[in-house]
Structure 1
Amino acid sequence: MPSRIAAKSIRPGPCGSGSPADELICNLTSRIAALSAENERLAEVVAARDGFLAVAAHELKNALTPVVARVEILRRRLDGWQPDKIESNLSQLEQAAGIFARRATTLLDVSRMAAGKLRLDKARIAVVPVIQAVCDNFRPLAERVKCDITIALPDPDLAIVGDQQALEQIVDNLVSNAIKYCAGAPISVRAEPVGDFVHLSVADRGPGISHEAHMRIFECFERAVRRGEEAGFGIGLWVIRHLSETMGGEVRVTARPGGGSTFCVVLPRHTGALR
């Protein structure tokens, strides 16, 4: 019992209430705890920076790919084309470059997404023009890898309540992923009203996804295939999930190994007239 009392008596109490030795120990302990907390904070900052740089690289590469593909087509076919054909392709190239520029200016929004602070504008957005523009931008790349993109848009006036650039990024990432993983196979893009929502789906006949990977693939830096099988950071689906949820929707996947995949983004439908 005396030894227990002695042991208890040397424990440092709150700073300012003990002996000088206890006070020193208490101050050192507090300082170490503060340094440890600061170290953890700095580690999180570095991780956020690295994550942002990876997202930036992914998003800019996605937006630039159609530009490069269109330039390659122009270089190969320029001599045999009529002026109106050349003008049409230059217009498409200008449109693709505009999308790239807009994507570059929204990268700060992506960093806010990573921090959980992303806020998007809510407006009436016509779905059909966005889907057609994105698919047209990717057609040269799809043709190069022998992917046939078909579009089914039964309602030409279909609209969502959301952010146009966010919708562009969602469609861009869905189509880009499909082309990446199912070269030589067809891709189907469809948008239709389902009650108070719009269902936007992209179906492919690629390698499919195991059931165990269905939720994991929507996390940042996660992919359904092993590293080295396909290029990429594993960011596109994470971007799709966050943008969909920020607009009040969600993303679903239906897939099985060897049987292709269908990604469906569900977004709130705007039922009034477009202005």
Structure 2
Amino acid sequence: MMVASHELNIPVAAMELAIQKLLRDERAAAWPEDVRRTLGVVERQGWQLTHLVAQMLDVARIHAGQMLLVLADVDLAAVVRAVAERLAERFERARCPLSLQAVTSVVGRWDRGRLEQALTCLLDNALKFGAGKPIEVEVARRGANGRLVVRDHGIGLAPDQLPRIFRRFEHAASPLQYGGLGLGLFIVREIVSALGGQVDVESAVGVGSTFAVELPRAGLASRAREATAHARRSARNRSIAPRAASPSRRPMSNAWRTRVGFV
């Protein structure tokens, strides 16, 4: 899959560059409206194809254990604002009012690029299944964690669908109607897990879905410290636990007592 993704990415990237060059051409303003509109459609479809190829490549990397993280001090609220600005046109086309609660700075030891990717996947999901309805994004600090919430008011999910939506190539709704490869939420889960966090979902049919991501602000170091502390507690408990007498020693003890006259 990794080789196929690379091979697909080359012509798709070349097509995107060519379209962007045409749209930025000084003569574009004089072109007929239907030509410019058609080029806009091609550009958006090219972006969608690039996104799908990137997802395939990421899944291949995850499967091969090659998903690299570049950790730095990252403000989760700034990431949310940047991604929302980049996707503003898509929200407008989908007629989805976006509400952001990302004023407070929430800084953690994370990979900014991977956070942007995970948030983009969550917003893609909200736009796909909640078109025409409001979408809310919240960022908050909760103890030692950063918390990200993405809430839509779309078609929602039945309880029996929830356990499988984070699997590879899974679709909660007909792919013929909604499209996609069924990889976005799988990638979200893998990224969040790699950063030492967890993602949960609450949903109801006809009401919408809420995805909540919790990330330790100390990053992977926090998870490592927890694992070390747990290992030390386990070792301490084993060292102080009462030890039962070995059955193989009891006959020897009785024999010794008989020889010295105690029995």
Both structures adopt the same fold (TM-score exceeding 0.5): yes
Distance in 2 (CA, whole Å) between partners of 1:120 and 1:257 is 36
The residue number in structure 2 matching 1:146 is 95
Matches within 5 A, 1:1-275: 48-49=1-2, 53=5, 110-155=59-104, 157-270=105-218
> Equivalent residue of 1:203, what SS?
strand
Residue-by-residue CA offset, 1:94-132 (whole Å, 9 max, x unaligned): xxx9xx99x999986653212234231222111122111
Q: Report runs of 4+ in structure 1 exceeding 3 Å deviation.
A: 103-110
Cα separation, partners in 2 of 1:147 and 1:161, compared to 1, 3 Å: same
The residue number in structure 2 matching 1:20 is none
Tell me how many residue pairs correspond in the alignment: 191
Query: Taking structure 1 as the reference length, what is the TM-score of the superposition?
Result: 0.60
Q: Structure 1, unaligned stretches of length 5 or more?
A: 1-47, 80-96
> Equivalent residue of 2:165, what SS?
helix
> Equivalent residue of 2:83, what SS?
helix
Cα separation, partners in 2 of 1:108 and 1:179, compared to 1, 3 Å: closer
Q: Supply the RMSD in Å over aligned alpha carbons.
A: 3.7
Give 2:82's aligned amino acid.
Answer: A
TM-superposed CA distance for 1:162, in Å, is 1.3
Q: Is the contact between residue 119 and residue 246 of structure 1 (CA under 8 Å) also seen in structure 2?
A: no
Cα separation, partners in 2 of 1:147 and 1:108, compared to 1, 3 Å: closer
Q: Is the contact between residue 159 and residue 270 of structure 1 (CA under 8 Å) also seen in structure 2?
A: no
Q: Is the contact between residue 126 and residue 151 of structure 2 (CA under 8 Å) also seen in structure 1?
A: yes
Greater CA deviation, 125-134 or 114-123?
114-123
> Equivalent residue of 2:126, what SS?
helix
Give 2:97's aligned amino acid.
Answer: D
Distance in 2 (CA, whole Å) between partners of 1:144 and 1:119 is 34
- Identity between Structure 1 and Structure 2 (%): 31
TM-superposed CA distance for 1:270, in Å, is 4.5
Q: Structure 2, unaligned stretches of length 5 or more?
A: 31-46, 220-263
TM-superposed CA distance for 1:197, in Å, is 0.8
> Equivalent residue of 2:80, what SS?
helix
Cα separation, partners in 2 of 1:234 and 1:208, compared to 1, 3 Å: same
